Amino acid sequence: MSAITSSLSPKPFQNEPYTDFSQPANAAAMRQALAQVRSEFAKEYDLLIAGERRRSREKLESLNPSNPAEVVGIHQKGTEKDARDAVEKAHAYFAEWSQTTFEERASLLIRLAGVIRARKYEFDAWLVFEAGKSWVEAEADVSEAIDFCEYYARQALKLSRPEPLVQLSGERDELVYLPLGAGIVIPPWNFPLAILAGMTVAALVTGNTVVIKPSSDTPTIAAKFAETLIEAGFPAASFSLLTGSGAAIGDTLVTHPKTRFVSFTGSRDVGLRINELAAKPQKGQIWIKRVIAEMGGKDAIVVDREGDIDEAVQGVLVSAFGYQGQKCSACSRAIVDAAIYDEFLEKLADKVARIKVGASDDPGNYMGPVINARAKDSILGYIEAGRREGRLVAGGEASAGGGYFIQPTVIADVDSKARIFQEEIFGPVLAVTKASDFDHAVQLANDTEYGLTGAVYTGNPEKAEQARRQLFVGNLYINRKCTGAMVGAHPFGGFNMSGTDSKAGGPDYLLQFVQAKSIAEKIA
């Protein structure tokens, strides 16, 4: 047994503790990190193609959504040639990287967790400025990135020692897990470190090489993550960082015949296009490409008459408006029993009215900006549709300030066929719908093409059991909010148009990045 195996195996996984910013020393350290990161604004970053630095004629600027006049980072717009080169180089290095052991690769993940942990305040600050996250939301994002590294290192060690097979007489029978090849990692902007890290290290620790194509809204965070991979000791040729327009290079990455798999988190429409493109074999392609996709949700919280109404109000509030509703797990529908409907709305509206909206670097603001101008326009368009489809209870407007700010918005009396009930908005907009009873509430919750998260507030054990059986979501929460999945405790991934039910942060996730080889040897 190697040193890394013996040092990790006895120690169970534990989630990374969150920094308590109410402590003066922690708050001071965060302010110092914000000042340091701000001093690095408008720095230019290179493409990294298997360790080779490249620059392009066309540039991509990432902006601070709290103040779009501020350029956070200047990045290259990768070309189709860059994309082809990245896949070719990843494929070429795979032969070497795949021969390293699970133990060697797991040790690098543990080192990477340590590097990110040492730079935690810095990453918090980058997330505040480039992704528009509050201090608390940024801290959760960075902690989750660390969790993925620690958890997948341990899971990789388990893959290195599969469960023994039945041993036939006269044979030695075994199962081994082999990496797939060169893969494409396409993370979202809303968890630009956690999901980026999780998707990337899952592929690397199983012996694959990767091309990372980050969101054009958060490329600086991806560039900083690439720094940590090198600092932790990952070979430069094991990954590429390719920034630029998805429309310009996305198809090239997905359709390349040497691309073996695509790991994607993002919108339904983009995910479906990737799945369609990957399904068509290209000239010279000798495998069926694998797609691991997480594609969003239209998540509901059911509030039963037998539930704790105050806890339900708080759970809906934080699930709907935490990080401006820009989570695929966010509550965008509250389905409330008619017996408590009016009381619930009154209490919710009172709490929503107290939410402070403003620049995300100010810890006094609960809500910051939405990610960009296009998102702001889209969300305001949904709010206008909601005014026609229901009754405006709270919010309904853009907020003051130079950033992409929108008031937390609640629209009541929404019919199940309304756009704001059915379509993913990805912003601080909550539709509230009345249910005649618990059966009706479950029916309404399931009336969607998505199936990611859901929650039920009820004090009735029989109704909780009914939700376990009938609420069709990949992540169900009972008497708690529907956001905040924790690595190791809440394997994350959804049904239907929410994706391939990848269950990130769970014991089965790494299996999607390997293929099993059965070996039978005749013995004397």
**Distance (Å, whole) CA 14 – CA 473:** 26
Q: What is the pLDDT of residue 11?
A: 85
- Rounded to an integer, the average pLDDT of 73-88 is 98
pLDDT digits (tens, 9 = 90+) for 211-249: 999 999 999 999 999 999 999 999 999 999 999 999 899
Residue 223: CA atoms inside 13 Å, Cβ hemisphere, count?
23
Q: Which two tokens stand for residue 450?
A: 């998505």
Cβ 472 vs Cβ 320: under 8 Å: no
Q: Letter for the amino acid at 466?
A: Q
Of all residues in the chain, the percent with pLDDT exceeding 90 is 97
**Distance (Å, whole) CA 266 – CA 214:** 11
Q: Which two tokens stand for residue 171?
A: 């044979």
Q: What is the pLDDT of residue 5?
A: 43
What lies within 8 Å, CB to CB, of 16 at 6+ separation is 117, 143, 144, 146, 147, 150
**Distance (Å, whole) CA 222 – CA 64:** 15
Q: Letter for the amino acid at 509?
A: Y
- Rounded to an integer, the average pLDDT of 274-283 is 98
For 56, the 3-state DSSP assignment is coil
Q: What is the pLDDT of residue 430?
A: 98
What lies within 8 Å, CB to CB, of 93 at 6+ separation is 50, 209, 235, 237, 238
pLDDT digits (tens, 9 = 90+) for 418-477: 999 999 999 999 999 999 999 999 999 999 999 999 999 999 999 999 999 999 999 999
Q: What is the pLDDT of residue 10?
A: 44
Relative to beta strand 514-522, strand 209-212 is unpaired
- Rounded to an integer, the average pLDDT of 501-520 is 98
| C-alpha separations of 455 from 233, 352, 423, 437, 458 in Å | 41, 20, 19, 16, 10
Cβ 433 vs Cβ 445: under 8 Å: no
pTM: 0.97
Average of per-residue pLDDT values in the chain: 97
Domains located in the chain, CATH noted: 46-61+78-115+142-295+502-519 (3.40.605.10), 299-486 (3.40.309.10)
| C-alpha separations of 22 from 26, 121, 363, 364 in Å | 7, 15, 10, 11
The DSSP element (H or E) to which 182 belongs, if any, is strand 182-186
For 102, the 3-state DSSP assignment is helix
**What is the gyration radius of the CA atoms in the chain, in angstroms?**
23
Beta partners for 434? Answer: 336
| C-alpha separations of 468 from 374, 396, 495 in Å | 38, 35, 15
Beta partners for 478? Answer: 456
pLDDT digits (tens, 9 = 90+) for 360-416: 999 999 999 999 999 999 999 999 999 999 999 999 999 988 999 999 999 999 999
**Distance (Å, whole) CA 453 – CA 475:** 5
- Rounded to an integer, the average pLDDT of 470-497 is 98
Higher-confidence residue of 457 and 5: namely: 457
Count the neighbouring beta carbons within 10 Å of the beta carbon of residue 74. Answer: 16
- Which of the 8 DSSP states describes residue 398? B
The string of DSSP codes covering 443-512 is: HHHT-SSEESEEEEE-S-HHHHHHHHHH---SEEEESS-S----TTTS-B--EETTBS---BTSTTGGGG
Which residues are catalytically annotated?
A: 294, 328
Q: What is the pLDDT of residue 9?
A: 57
Cβ 371 vs Cβ 65: under 8 Å: yes
The DSSP element (H or E) to which 139 belongs, if any, is helix 135-159
**Distance (Å, whole) CA 395 – CA 379:** 12
**Distance (Å, whole) CA 386 – CA 90:** 47
Listed in order, strand segments (DSSP E) in 370-452 are: 391-394, 409-412, 429-435, 450-451
**Distance (Å, whole) CA 261 – CA 287:** 10
**Distance (Å, whole) CA 435 – CA 415:** 10
* Nearest Cα residue to 234 out of 125, 121, 93, 331: 93
Look at residue 33 and tell me whether its pLDDT is greater than 70.
yes
- Which of the 8 DSSP states describes residue 17? P
Beta partners for 492? Answer: 504
Rounded to the nearest 10 degrees, what angle do helices 102-118 and 194-205 cross at?
A: 160
Band (pLDDT 50/70/90 cuts) for residue 524 is: confident
pLDDT digits (tens, 9 = 90+) for 108-149: 999 999 999 999 999 999 999 999 999 999 999 999 999 999
